[in-house]
A = this chain, B = another copy of it.
Amino acid sequence: MVSKGQHVRGRIIDAANRLFYERGFNRTSFSDIADAADIPRGNFYYYFKSKDEILGAVIDARLDDISTMLEGWNETIDSPRDRLKRYLKIAINEAPEVVLHGCPMGSLNQELIKGQLAPREHARKMFDLFGSWLEQQFRALGKSKDVASDLARHLQGRMQGIALLGAAYSDTEFITREVRQLTRWLEEL
């Protein structure tokens, strides 16, 4: 059973997650989060002492979500190539949000790159998770470890570029076109 405290904590993390994505981490204040989670300021400090603590919890929650998603794909999709195509589909499925706010993972990393080392490295773990999963799929396609690792980073870069230009120009057609190209690239690999 989830206790009331865990429930409140979860509500704070959900609210912060949403705000960090829509407004950005740096433009979201401690009190924005308290307001969005609808929690009195006084209670709030019981759960989190600083915005950085909330950031840590948000990244952990996102890491959990990513892991669950990737494990789900491993269980339900047999072929590594189809798994990689499922990964590409994120860009299509999330396009309506991406054109408004960019990629949640990419934009948070971009913000934190300009900040302190610890949160920067924590946020990068999201890229790491996808990266090692992608590498496994390329390995399963018969690529050597080095090649698979390069292909994984290459594909992550492609997806990030698609998200950023797609968002800058609110261009879902661009996203669709690029994903189609990447799909062909995967098929020929």
Contact = CB atoms under 8 A, between A and B. Distances in A.
A110 B107 CA distance: 6
A157 interface: yes
Given A153-B169, A157-B178, A178-B157, A164 B114 contact: no
Given A107-B113, A110-B164, A161-B160, A154 B127 contact: no
A183 interface: no
Contact of A26 (B24, B124, B157): B24
B150 A177 contact: yes
B114 A101 contact: yes
A145 interface: no
Given A102-B113, A113-B168, A158-B158, 18 more contacts: A22-B114, A24-B111, A24-B114, A26-B26, A27-B114, A27-B115, A101-B114, A107-B113, A110-B164, A127-B165, A150-B177, A153-B165, A153-B174, A154-B178, A157-B158, A157-B161, A157-B165, A161-B164
Interface string A94-107: 00000001100011
